[in-house]
Amino acid sequence: MSHYRLALYLTSAVALLEALLVASISSFDVALARSASVRPFVAVVIVFGLWVQSKIARYLGVAWYVLMIVSVVWALPSARVWSVTLALFLVVSLLQLAGAGILLLSKEFAREFAEQREKQPFYKKQLAVCGAIAVIAVIVVMFAIDYADFSRP
């Protein structure tokens, strides 16, 4: 199997498991699930970015995965009870570690990614631009909502 396809499958699995994590968290803490809902959103953006062969999505995806892995490892010692949610966090972290390794360190992935970018159809380039605009718009809206929430007396 090509490393490019493997990376797409891994990032897709991470996105699906992140959504399951938020659903699991929402069963016992809605406020925490609301703040954690950014995780599946970013995971889907990473999958989309890899599908349209975005270099920015590749490297920011690695940075995001490493940040999420560090946050889980950092919080692990304070976990008093092992639960399904904690096990799901660990599984997602392992998949993120594998995905980050492929995206950053695999020479075969880099070669296949460059080949895909060279023979990329026009519509994928347009989708990449539209996706970037959509992500920026969502970020602006999220900041506006947070600002409105925090500026209330």
Cα four-point dihedral sign 120, 126, 128, 129: positive
pLDDT at site 61 = 92
**pLDDT tens per residue across all 153 residues of the chain:** 799 999 999 999 999 999 999 998 888 888 888 888 889 999 999 999 999 998 899 999 999 999 999 999 998 888 777 788 888 889 999 999 999 999 999 999 999 999 988 888 888 889 888 988 988 898 888 888 888 878 776
How far apart CA 25 and CA 33 sit, in angstroms, is 5
pLDDT at site 97 = 95
Indicate the domain borders of the chain: 3-150
